[in-house]
Structure 1
Amino acid sequence: MSKESKITLIGSKLAKTGGEFIYLGEIEECKNCKFKRLCHGNLEVGRKYKIVSVRSANHPCIVHEGGVKVVEVVLADLTIMIESKKALEGVVLNHEPITCDNFDCEYYSFCNSEGIKEGEKYKIKQVLNEKINCPFGNSLKKVIVELVENK
């Protein structure tokens, strides 16, 4: 997926350049809001976004104390765990989540990453040089990836 920017609204207290968030979808309070389309129309549920610019104007919102600001966002890079043998910078792969139900593991959130779905293509931007001690003995590497369009 491209790094094309999108315009949306976010709570003024959260509107900081470089900030990241996972879009969780519309809530009941948004149904009759005049800004609903701008807030929710451009984003995909479950995706992680990075704020690249914040506009100064503040708009009223019944959900966010202090109102909302217009922000420009792009899909954020993701840090995920993959099998060591596949961890090569520049490689494009289909996402295969690491099967793990050890919720107490320090690496759980990287093996079960939010913002990417099984089978989606991504490009490895960087392989992190970090020793991973998987409790199940899996040979894993932490990588930074960007989503790419399925063609």
Structure 2
Amino acid sequence: MVTLVGEKLAKKDNDFIYMGSLSECRDCKLKNVCFNLEDGCRYKITSIRDVRHDCKIHEGGVRIVEVEKTLLPAAVESKNAVEGETISINLDCKNIGCDSYFLCCPVGVKPGMKLKISKIKGDISCPEKKNLKEVLLE
């Protein structure tokens, strides 16, 4: 899959979570290439092409890159941790200092968003005593 990313972010093996389109870009001739990814999904840059374009948003312009969708680590309640199951993340964690905070509140995942459990990695130690498992979502 081909898309555009900011020059400073265009490094092989970098990963990012696509957060959606920007209203500032609605008149750009390249918007269809920039906005061809799925909101909330994680991508890894597999190849960088030499072509550069000017961009109103990214200082230094954008580069054409090839990306592949990767799995998103997250925490789910143990009772919902079933490989192949489609779920939505609804954990409400207020403990920002917790080592697992970003598993419970993954960046880019919106409330009610449906994701499929691809793999169960194991138990998570939760200071709030919730029974959680780390999973990989697609």
TMscore range, shorter length: 0.7 to 0.9
Report whether the alignment pairs 1:99 with 2:92.
yes
Query: Which 5+ residue runs of structure 2 have no aligned equivalent?
Result: none
Identify the residue that residue 125 of structure 2 maps to in structure 1. Answer: 133
Report whether the alignment pairs 1:62 with 2:56.
yes
Q: TM-score, normalised by structure 1?
A: 0.72
Identify the residue that residue 68 of structure 2 maps to in structure 1. Answer: 74
Matched residue type, 1:34 = K
User: How far off is 1:115 after superposition?
Assistant: 4.1
User: How far off is 1:69 after superposition?
Assistant: 0.9
Preserved CA contact (<8 Å) 1:49 1:74: yes
Q: Percent sequence identity over matched residues?
A: 40
User: How far off is 1:100 after superposition?
Assistant: 2.3
Preserved CA contact (<8 Å) 1:87 1:127: no
Matched residue type, 2:103 = F
Find the aligned partners of 1:54 and 1:12 in 2 and give their Cα distance.
10
Bigger mean CA deviation after superposition, 46-55 or 24-33: 24-33
Identify the residue that residue 111 of structure 1 maps to in structure 2. Answer: 104
Q: TM-score, normalised by structure 2?
A: 0.78
Find the aligned partners of 1:64 and 1:96 in 2 and give their Cα distance.
31
User: Which one of the candidate residues 46, 64, 82 is aligned to 2:40?
Assistant: 46
Report whether the alignment pairs 1:9 with 2:4.
yes
Find the aligned partners of 1:116 and 1:32 in 2 and give their Cα distance.
27
Residues 76 and 116 (structure 1), Cα distance of their counterparts in 2 relative to 1, 3 Å cut: farther
Q: Residue deviations 1:121-145, cap 9 Å, x none? A: 41333514x6x33121112222223
- How many residue pairs get aligned? The number is 137
Q: Residue deviations 1:68-124, cap 9 Å, x none? A: 111122222111112335556x44342343232333322221112234453624133
User: Tell me, what secondary structure is at the counterpart of 2:8?
Assistant: coil
Matched residue type, 1:52 = T
Identify the residue that residue 17 of structure 2 maps to in structure 1. Answer: 22
The structure with the largest strand share of the pair is: 2
Find the aligned partners of 1:68 and 1:52 in 2 and give their Cα distance.
16
Find the aligned partners of 1:103 and 1:47 in 2 and give their Cα distance.
22
